[in-house]
Amino acid sequence: MKHTYPSLATLGREIKTQTNSSAALVEECLKQVLEKNGPMNGFITVCSDEALARAEEIDAAIAQGKDPGSLAGIPIAIKDNISTKGILTTCGSKILENYVPIFDATVVQKLTAAGAIVLGKTNMDEFAMGSSTENSFFGPTRNPLDPEKIPGGSSGGSAAVVGAGMAPVALGSDTGGSIRQPAACCGVVGIKPTYGRVSRYGLVAYGSSLDQIGPITTSVEDAALLLNVICGFDEMDATSSPEPVPDFTATLNKGVEGLRIGLPREYFAQGLDETVRARVMEAVDNLKAAGAQVVDISLPHTEYAVATYYIIATAEASSNLARYDGVKFGFRAKDVSTLKEMYRETRSQGFGAEVKRRIMLGTYVLSAGYYDAYYKKAQQVRTLITEDFTKAFSQCDCIVGPAMPTMPFNIGEKANDPLAMYLSDIYTISLNLAGLPGISVPFAREGDSMPVGVQVFGRAFDEATVLAVAQAMESSANP
């Protein structure tokens, strides 16, 4: 049975008024982890002793009249590609199976400064390369709603532990849909902020022009509360934006009266599962009933998004992963006699099949004679995709569509079909290419075994509108 927690606001209020305690909440989470993590495999590392010790410190501080912060005493799960000082950070890879960072990522610094407690590190597709969390060196994660199904990826561990009630909230990362797609699979809320809104310092790089950290929660309100903490400029990240950060909770309940909701016709074309289509349209009908105006729009370069993404992302991955060579840190192959052999064997043994595939693809598209034909052309198409959104937002205030083309598939079903796997991100990838914010919200009809992820996305740095539409949708849903 799924375990549920009160909202973050309620938990925080209970802990600060001492009607509940952080220690009791952490113990409750650890009990859920003990019962569920074995078969589900959502956590790679669980920080039981450290989390309990920190919870007791926070409870003591509150008893002394101190305010430890807006997230005082609340446990949070962290995706295992986000650096945590003194805590194993593996990226789901053999090559980093024993890597312990000496620094915290900026988002972790902000969370702990606000009083949050790191509960553990969650499973993921190796180096965030995957859509099902089947590509982890530590084995696949299972969906909390159906253990035969994938939990989505690459942040499948984070979505699964929140969906199962092992943690109230989690952080994930999103390069091509890796927060929103697993949120859709696991029936939780996942938001990718605008590129640059959240610092990437301490996020192990996959595609540096695409990666973004964001929350995975059980409600839109909780996502807004977490965004309030983790957003903001960071001088440690050259791509961090100085754009002012509003209080995202302040406009959550403003409603959708008068808002123009764009429906991209390309997102409802052939290939969309009928159950997904029906639930998305029911969600849209509810927004119309709440006063929104629905507008037909076009994103004509959507058909090129997957190809464009897998050229740009793999090219950046090829560059970013060149550092894993067995010299300075991470796994090093044994019984080698030359430097060249050490490089070859370390990378051959240390990386899994999907990571090797993407490194080879990326190296190829950057190679002499092919750069202009592939990488340069992909960057040009990326510009066209971005311009599609600019034109669309001249006609509407936000866009609504499916987060995934199908319901979650069975574990192993697409493991030997990379193209079919890549196409499961067709509705999420464009947003990363354009750097825009997007959220997946679960929507279901009573009796549905699994909710459908409905995606809302908006203009750059307009998370407030995205969250308000998502909140209106959530209040009308029945997940």
Query: Is the model's pLDDT at 345 over the cut of 70?
Result: yes
Q: Which residue has the tokens 């190679």?
A: 367
Is 79 a catalytic site residue? yes
Output the 3-class SS for 110-135: HHHHCCCEEEEEECCCHHHCCCCCCC
Q: How many domains does the chain have?
A: 1
Which residues span the domain enclosing 264?
Answer: 1-479
Query: Is the model's pLDDT at 479 over the cut of 60?
Result: no
> Which residues partner with 46 through β-bridges?
120
Instruction: Answer yes or no: are the C-beta atoms of 190 and 180 closer than 8 Å.
Output: yes
Quote the tokens at residue 417: 């079909």
Share of the chain above pLDDT 70, in %: 99
pLDDT one-digit tens code per residue, 383-395: 999 999 999 999 9
Query: Is the model's pLDDT at 54 over the cut of 90?
Result: yes
Instruction: Answer yes or no: are the C-beta atoms of 467 and 274 closer than 8 Å.
Output: no
Contacts of 76 (CB under 8 A, 6+ apart): 111, 116, 117, 118, 119, 167, 168, 169, 170, 171
Report d(CA 419, CA 33) in Å as an integer.
Answer: 34
Report d(CA 255, CA 287) in Å as an integer.
Answer: 9
pLDDT one-digit tens code per residue, 111-146: 999 999 999 999 999 999 999 999 999 999 999 999
Report d(CA 56, CA 62) in Å as an integer.
Answer: 10
**pLDDT for the residue numbered 264:** 98
Contacts of 81 (CB under 8 A, 6+ apart): 89, 91, 92, 124, 127, 128, 173, 203, 204, 206
> Mean pLDDT for the chain?
96
Active-site entry in 79, 110, 121, 192 = 79
Active-site entry in 83, 131, 136, 154 = 154
CATH number where 427 lies: 3.90.1300.10
**pLDDT for the residue numbered 106:** 98
pLDDT one-digit tens code per residue, 14-39: 999 999 999 999 999 999 999 999 99
Quote the tokens at residue 166: 């092992």
Pairing between β-strand 43-46 and β-strand 117-122 as defined by DSSP bridges = antiparallel
Query: Is the model's pLDDT at 55 over the cut of 70?
Result: yes
φ, ψ for residue 369, nearest 5 deg: 95, -15
pLDDT band at 446 (very low <50, low <70, confident <90, very high): confident
**pLDDT for the residue numbered 210:** 98
Active-site entry in 178, 318, 424, 440 = 178
DSSP letter at 448 equals -
- Among residues 269, 261, 230, 262, which one has the least CA distance to residue 248? 230
**pLDDT for the residue numbered 1:** 53
